[in-house]
Copies of this chain bind each other. A is one copy, B any other.
Amino acid sequence: MNIDCTTSLIEIKSQHISLKVPHLSVKTHSNRPSLKPLRNVTRRKMKSKLVTKNKFYNPCNEVHTKTNGTTCGLREIMIGRCSHYQYIKNGFVQPNGSRAKNCTELYEAFESAVRYKSYCNMNMSTYGRYFELALGDLHVINRAMFWSGTYAIAHTYGSNGRNYVTLEDTLAAAMVNGLTWCGKENDTEGFDFVSCPYRCKDNQWADYAFWGLASKTFAQLAAGEVYVVLNGSQANGKSAFRNDSYFRSFELPNLRQNGTYRVTKVNILVLHSPDAEVVERCGQKSLLELERLVQNKGFDYACEDDPEELILIMCSEHWHARECQVARQVLRQTWNKKLYGISNSNRNLLSLVIFSLIFGFNFIF
């Protein structure tokens, strides 16, 4: 043990540089449309009610600002992502050595489902061929990770398929994640680049046409043990296992119960964010119902609140949260010891930890 009490704390702290608070997730939420309670609706041929000033106006040709319509460069972005996925990322999700897919063919299968079509004329089979081409030969064994209300942390932890595979790590979803698109009838481009409706009053299936089928298809590919990251700190009376979640509506019902590639166990990870209330934990409220549903389907069930692996990530992203302060101080002092071999700082830390633990963390905040 190297103790060097001659180095003063003043010297150590003299050059503090003001740094930005870490925000590690670039994309913090999904762009799946939120679900309304599912109803049975008679599908009718609908006309888009959107009116644009000039039907040949395309903002992609102008000085660029983000629009509410189809993402400019949709074709190039999708084909580029497909090539990246297959030639660079390949190996994380799809087995190395598998036959490369034709990215142009994939894009065209997607395009033919949407281009020149009215948004409200979509349904759950619209993108069928696209998903079949993109995911037809895939099985995600012991690595599938579902999420609900936990987009950012599930994806940070999953690490683009390196640790776990989320829906967004599959080729079909990776090609469009974060993009917006909607078709436009009687238009030269066939896409509406000005505004997409997001909601179709008389045909809710239009809203789920892509992400509903994506979720269903991904659930059907999951095998062995699967992982579900839920939010036990939901505000505004929302449950961790919500009635109107994609997980409940499209994923859980489609996990395979039979065959070689059946699901064996469902592992639930319930997270409670720093600085947020604990609304539900394993074995409580909606999680009791989830347990019953999982067991009724014949799967093993396990549930864990806040695995350590994920707490540290939560604190990395919520640096200033009350519950992360003592650990942050512990790390500072550990590194000071590593750097300078100081034992004085240990005594400061010790006082901090003793008081904070005895008096409930309140005195330091």
Contact = CB atoms under 8 A, between A and B. Distances in A.
Interface residues of A, number: 98
Contacts of A55: none
A160 interface: yes
Contacts of A91: 66
A235 to B, nearest CB: 16
A19 to B, nearest CB: 5
A278 to B, nearest CB: 6
A50 B113 CA distance: 46
Which of A24, A359, A362 has most B Cβ within 10 Å? A24
A330 B109 CA distance: 52
B309 A63 contact: no
A359 to B, nearest CB: 8
Contacts of A160: 26
A316 B319 contact: no
A20 interface: yes
Nearest to A282: B15
Interface string A14-54: 01110111111110000000000000000000000000000
B346 A17 contact: no
What are the 8 A-B residue pairs with the smallest beta carbon separation, nearest first? A80-B80, A73-B83, A64-B100, A1-B360, A346-B357, A327-B327, A76-B83, A72-B87
Interface of A: 1, 15-17, 19-26, 60, 63-66, 71-73, 76-84, 86-88, 90-92, 96-100, 103, 156-157, 159-160, 162-164, 178-179, 227, 267, 269, 272, 278, 281-282, 302-313, 315-316, 319, 323-324, 326-328, 330-335, 337-339, 346-347, 349-350, 353-354, 357-362
